[in-house]
Amino acid sequence: MSRRRQFAELIVVRASGFAADGQRRYPRWEATNADLRRWLEQEGIGGVILLGGSAADLALRCRQLQRWAPQPLLLCADVEEGVGQRFEGASWLVPPLALDGLWHREPARAAELARAYGRCTGHEARLLGLNWVLAPVCDVNNNPANPVINVRAWGQDPPAAAALTAAFVEGLQAEGVLGCAKHFPGHGDTQDDSHLALPVLGHDRARLEAVELPPFRAAIAAGVASVMTAHLQLPALDAERPATLSAAVLSGLLRQELGFDGLVVTDALVMEAIAAHHGPGEAAALAFEAGADLLLMPGDVDAALEALERGDADGRWPPERLERSLERRRRALARCRPAPATVEEALDALLDPPSRDLADHLLDLSLQSRGAPRPWRGAGVNLLRIDNALSSAFLPLTAPALVEPQRAGLRTVLVDGQTLPLDPERLPEGPVLLQLFVRGNPFRGSAAAAAEWPGLVRQLVAHDRLGGLAVYGSPYVWEALRDLVPPDRPAAYSPGQMPAAQARVLARLGLARAKGGPGDGFTD
């Protein structure tokens, strides 16, 4: 096998979960079928990250890609909140941070639920053809202003994050798929989104040991198969290069000090934290030189391969360096259990009541509310805040957040995060149901911080217009707003944003009948 083809096994490219080129949602990053097939068949590319499509689409796509490849592939997805987060028809679970509060009261129960969360995710991923889950997020979200982590984290302090991520890894990998601890050495205490810029984490080594590193140590002790790098600068460890490109961080800290001998994978190399400072070829070569085994989404596959070949010929790393990465990849693949032989078998097995029961239980467990439900009849306003009305997977036309207020006679008004300030006097007449869909999201540049919303809530209360409040996603927004709602008005919160979460929240406000029981000890 040529050196170029060996290096190709270490590259992971992005593809749509849909079969046809015309169905790609993000053509800027998702390869065409012609390129995919060439990369897999002729170059020997070793991995594909998938996004988009239903569970059935994913099952077909994974099997198709594996047919195109002459060797076993690593097939992965960012399914941090269950496979249904990205692929409709599978289980979509509440975000991990939902278990943080429970862990502080009942740590054993929370850990068992995190383990079940991992089992559910791993089971459904393997059924559909994925053998690598890019989770858990091991970042400690101790900064409420973090624009990109937020509810994706498992904890707001190191003990919770460490215990829950380790339990998730145990459950996930018991199902025969690989896990991935990310984003090393910790992306929780940043105020910049590495999709858009290079964050700087200015803490010293003692602070990193106390806060950022414990969840990664716990995940490694639990046997996590891979660790993903963070695109951020840590001057205490390397004043020149970000973690993804730093030998001090990857070879020194992760390999030698933490003793990790699994796969080290970069975060996507097309992200601006890297791409704005390095060309696609040099970024790939720098990451490999620093200690990364797998290169996720290089901006130009051919340029990456050429740079790796050139670096190898120029002696930028020892000759055995490539073989060590290939051996780690082989060992990882040997841990994976095969998917069912046919798509029909996979989809039949996906209809697994325990998975659905877990999703419902976690939603009920994490629901919070104040005040009694109220009758909603007649004129009024359903005021929804969302990031983008054109790409909200949680808001189909049949979503309870749209349908239930409409049934009660409320008129829907959509706003985005840039719309404030709003003048309540310019809204249609009647009580206002304020529904906020707010959480950390890549490419937004902010976490839609809680500071944006108290002013509007106070205005609505002052004009006697606030009929009720629903918050989906960020606990920090809920904590900032709940005490501003008069006690005779209902308010409710779910960390989830999916339709099932909406139904439960609206039932607490008097607008829908939710499936499942009441929250379990979380109601004020």
Catalytic positions are 195, 267
The SS3 assignment for 466 reads strand
Are the C-beta atoms of 7 and 44 separated by less than 8 Å? no
Q: Where is 494: in which H helix or E strand?
A: strand 491-494
- CA–CA separation, 385 vs 417, rounded Å? 7
518 class by beta-carbon count within 10 Å (0-12 exposed, 13-18 middle, 19+ buried): middle
Beta pairing, strands 295-296 & 11-16 = parallel
> Order of strands, edge to edge, in the sheet holding 380-385?
368-370, 491-494, 466-473, 432-438, 380-385, 410-415
Asked if residues 155 and 206 have their Cβ atoms less than 8 Å apart, the reply is: no
Which helix (H) or strand (E) segment holds residue 133: the answer is: strand 132-133
Contact 234, 249 (CB under 8 A): yes
Supply angle C-alpha 208, 209, 213, rounded to 5.
80
Q: Spell 334-373 as b/e; 16+ CB within 10 A means b.
A: eebeebbeebeebbeebebeebeebbbbbbbbbbbbbbeb
Q: How many other C-beta atoms are found inside a 10 Å radius of the C-beta of residue 118?
A: 28
Please state, as a whole number, how many other Cβ atoms lie within 10 Å of the Cβ of residue 248: 18
The helix (H) or strand (E) run that includes residue 180 is strand 180-184
Cα–Cα dist 486/477, whole Å: 17
- Look at residues 221, 230, 113 and name the one whose alpha carbon lies nearest to residue 171: 113
Q: How far is CA 85 from CA 77, 121, 207, 404, in A?
A: 10, 10, 33, 23
